[in-house]
Structure 1
Amino acid sequence: MTEEDKSKKEGLFEFFSSYRELFEFFCSNTTIHGAIRLVCSRKNRMKTAFWLVLFLATFGLMYWQFGLLFGQYFSYPVSINLNVNSDKLPFPAVSVCTLNPYRYKSIQNELEELDRETQRTLYELYKYNSSGVQGWTPNVHRKKRDAPRFPYPLELIPKKPELHRVVRSAAEEELQVKRREWNIGFKLCNETGEDCFYQTYSSGVDAIREWYRFHYINILARVPQEASINEEQLEDFIFACRFNEESCTKLNYSRFHHAIYGNCYTFNQNRSGYSNMWSSSMPGIKNGLTLVLRTEQHDYIPLLSSVAGARVLIHGHNEPAFMDDNGLNIPPGVETSIGMKKETVNRLGGKYSDCSEDGSDIDVKNLFRSEYTQQVCVRSCFQAKMVARCGCGYAFYPLPPGAHYCDYYKNKSWGE
């Protein structure tokens, strides 16, 4: 053994004189499979080349797999499991409305005057007798010095520019509309009266309906929130109620009033003091909710709703009943069956989505006495923005503290 070899062997660290010697040492002592073949078969260049290519290929595949694994990990994948079960499920809440808006006593005279004004307008525009009495003619002759009973009267707006100088009020002129020459609408202005525009419609029926709804909402806004509603009994609207072959009781329903759809009753709603929630495990009419309804039209307002019967909405126990969006109309004189299935979607939060668990992390105050839903958030946000911008709120949504509903006598420009 030479002095050089002894110095290498006796040193604390072993140094190599060349990269080839280092490579041979690595291949001879590593635990990587096949690496030793690069050294022991060096006399056969074909075999050495084969093992070299195989060694590099396996290393390339290994790093390729590493890339796939890291890419999949940092993409935050989601695993979806679908289970179809026939377990016992909680029965949803069911809201039923009479489609018969109640006329509050405090605004009864104004609503009757609005009806008479609408009848005059219909007769002036179309010679239509809405009373059904043959030979009936409304008092359409009004002195020009008399102001209209309601602001923002319906007007005939000419389509041709050369006729704009003869814009006529439908409440003052006895004129039957020629649809090809006129649009129908009403003028809305800001508080100063300097910035105005015409809300026009090509259909006179649509114009009258929107005009009636505009004034109806304004009249309704003056009704105190604590005012008592029509003391209609449940038995006057629902003749029979059975769930799972058992009769319903007064504890099974709660009651609220909708300005357009009248008195409404919600069955199986989660509320304080009520714990006997319905559940269902079998399909079929006998295992669900069965109602026999009586539909009347003693206060029917055709310009608010063009249907008769009842309106039904199926929703969650802790969700408010948004009858406008998701409800369906049930016609009278027929038997209607509604079947449904439940789908539950659990969405991951954090980096996987921008979903909210209960709305507590959203800068919108929940104005409804219910749990957080997307529509609750949208309507609460709309009401807050309207109060901030207009100084008053929309009559169909709850109010934030200290706010009041819009009234064009107090808020001159809220109609815009």
Structure 2
Amino acid sequence: MAAGKRVSALQMLGDFADNTSAHGVRKLHAKSHWLFKVIWLLLLLCATGNILMQVWQLINQYQRRPVTTKTTIHSRSLEFPTVTLCNLNPFKYSKIQNQQFPMETLRRFSKSLNISLEQFGGTPQTGLARVDPDAANDTQDDYYTDEPSEFSVSQFLTEAPEEFRMETLLGLAETSDIQLLAQPISELLVSCTFAGSPCSHSEFSWTYDLDYMNCFQFPRDNRTRSLDVYSAGQLFGLSLILNVDQKEYVPFVTPSAGIRVAVHEYDSPPNLMQKGLTAPPGFETSIGIRPTVRIHQPDPYGNCEIDNPYGDIQTCERSCLEDLIEIECECSRRIDNPEFGICLWRFEGRHCYCMFQ
């Protein structure tokens, strides 16, 4: 090439086509016949379109941030979960007989059902708190009626336990007295073994549940023994013999006897109403579990929180419901909420009704 001589753009493109590694472009320029040029042009355009399509698919796949699930089976020790036990009878019948409000409620139930209280443990007529008849008439609910046609057994079994629990809470000076009316763990627990070693009632802690009130959890927070489990089976788990003390069941409001059991992750709410199991008295009940660990990726792959206090979606939804009720109704069932007093609530349509302590 002579110095200072300008090269045309067409000649530069021809030199590029002759020396490029893209074979389709080189063939397109080298062929002299127009038919071969058209064929190589079509092949070049098809190849280029295929490349662009694959690049576009890869970009879309990357932006979707797909998740790959990897399942791995490990043979190692596992930490034993928390076991929550609740007697279906929240209060001992002998301990509430000196409480004015709950006993008056039971008398109204007895009148509605036309069943005498005398046949339930021999309710004494002396030593009871004096009942005000006018106050009893003021607290009469609409669904307690002397008209048989308006009486609903299913509605009674649903609403009577809630009213009785509320009347019992009304008679307590402190919310801490709830535990004093219940069956203690020393009476409930007859025998206890864990991983082949004996355990005692001191390894259980008392907890309050929104639905079953007085419950006990194993193990307690300040435990001393190791809870690592190396093998599956009944001999390596928790084995209990329990005494529900059925003669102490409160009439009318506790239609069934047994223990409500929930097995859940340590330091998480038990959610006994939705995920609990009922163990009837007089039978052996075996509960086997298999842990499933899910690790969710944080942002930008999702909006999961790393520190989640809930063990499952249902427990989280239940806690959110309680939070919304406290905001909308200014009413709470939680005894550890200092902003609201203890109350029981129920919904009728879109309105909530609360009975306060």
Q: Name the TM tier (shorter chain).
A: 0.7 to 0.9
Of 6, 27, 38, the residue aligned with 1:37 is 27
Structure 1 position 344, deviation (Å): 1.1
Asked if residue 333 in structure 1 is aligned to residue 282 in structure 2, the reply is yes
Counterpart of 2:160 in structure 1 is: 212
Letter of the 1:108 counterpart: Q
Q: How many pairs does the alignment contain?
A: 332
Structure 1 vs Structure 2: percent identity of aligned residues? Answer: 23
Rounded to whole Å, the distance in 1 between the matches of 2:265 and 2:251 is 30
The CA deviation at 1:243 is: 1.5
The aligned counterpart of 1:99 is 88
CA change 1:403–1:380 in 2 (3 A) is: same
Aligned match of 2:49: 60
Structure 1 residue runs without a partner (length 5+): 134-145, 157-168, 185-203, 360-370
Q: Partner of 1:70 in structure 2? A: 59
Question: Distance between the aligned counterparts of 1:264 and 1:240, measured in 2?
Answer: 17
Letter in 2 for 1:225: T
In the TM superposition, residue 72 of structure 1 has moved relative to its aligned partner by 0.7
How far, CA to CA, are the matches of 1:235 and 1:331 in structure 2? Answer: 20
User: What is the match of residue 88 of structure 1?
Assistant: 77
Q: Is the 8 A contact 1:384 1:400 kept in 2?
A: no
Structure 1 counterpart SS, 2:17: helix
Of the candidates 226, 241, 251, which is equivalent to residue 176 of structure 2? Answer: 226
Q: Where does residue 255 of structure 1 map in the other structure?
A: 206
- Alpha-carbon spacing, 1:151–1:382, altered in 2? closer, same or farther (3 Å): farther
**1:233–1:302 Cα change, 3 Å:** closer
Structure 2 residue 218 is matched with structure 1 residue 267:
yes
SS in 1 for 2:56: helix
Task: Say which of 51, 57, 66 aligns to 2:40.
Answer: 51
Deviations 1:62-100 (A, max 9, x none): 111111111111111111111123321111111122222
Q: Matches of 2:19 and 2:78 in 1, distance apart?
A: 66
Equivalent in the alignment of 2:343: 406
Give how far 1:382 is off.
3.9
Contact conserved, 2:261 with 2:277, CA < 8 A, in 1?
yes
* Contact 1:358-1:372 within 8 A present in 2 as well: no
**Residue 357 of structure 1, CA deviation:** 2.3
Moved over 6 A (4+): none
Name the counterpart of 2:105. 114
Distance in 2, matches of 1:294 and 1:94, equals 17
Write 1 or 2 for the structure with the bigger share of helix: 2
Aligned to 2:130: none
Task: Describe the shift of the 1:69–1:260 C-alpha distance in structure 2 as closer, same or farther (beyond 3 A).
Answer: closer
The whole-number CA distance in structure 2 between the counterparts of 1:403 and 1:114 is 24
CA distance in 2 between counterparts of 1:317 and 1:150 reads 46
Structure 2 gap segments, 5+ residues each:
121-132, 346-351
For residues 171-193 of structure 1, what are the alpha-carbon distances to aligned partners after superposition, in whole Å with 9 as ceiling and x for unaligned? xx5x5x24xxxx34xxxxxxxxx
Tell me, yes or no, if the aligned pair for 1:241 and 1:290 is still in contact at 8 Å. yes
> Secondary structure of 2:167's partner?
helix
Structure 2 partner of 1:301:
250
3-state DSSP class of the match of 2:231? coil
Which whole-Å CA distance do the structure 1 matches of 2:215 and 2:337 have between them?
24
Q: Which residue of 2 aligns with 1:362?
A: none
Structure 1 residue matching 2:160: 3-state secondary structure: helix
Residues 295/131 of structure 1: CA separation in 2 closer, same or farther (3 Å cut):
same
C-alpha distance 386-220 of structure 1, shift in aligned 2 (>3 A): farther
SS across alignment from 1:404: coil
SS of the aligned residue for 2:205 comes to strand
Amino acid at match of 1:291: L
1:264-413 alignment runs, 5 A limit: 264-269=215-220, 271=221, 273-274=222-223, 276-358=225-307, 371-372=309-310, 374=313, 377-394=316-333, 397-406=334-343
The amino acid across from 2:207 in the alignment is F
Is the partner of 2:25 in helix, strand or coil?
A: coil
* TM-score in terms of structure 2 length: 0.79
What is the CA–CA distance in structure 1 between the aligned matches of 2:40 and 2:14, rounded to whole Å? 14
Alpha-carbon shift at residue 277 of structure 1 (Å)? 4.0
Q: Is the contact between residue 154 and residue 211 of structure 1 (CA under 8 Å) also seen in structure 2?
A: no
**Secondary structure class of the residue paired with 1:112:** helix
Q: Give the AA of the match of 1:393.
A: S
Decide whether the 8 Å contact of 2:85 with 2:259 is kept in 1. yes
Distance 1:346 1:338, change over 3 A: same
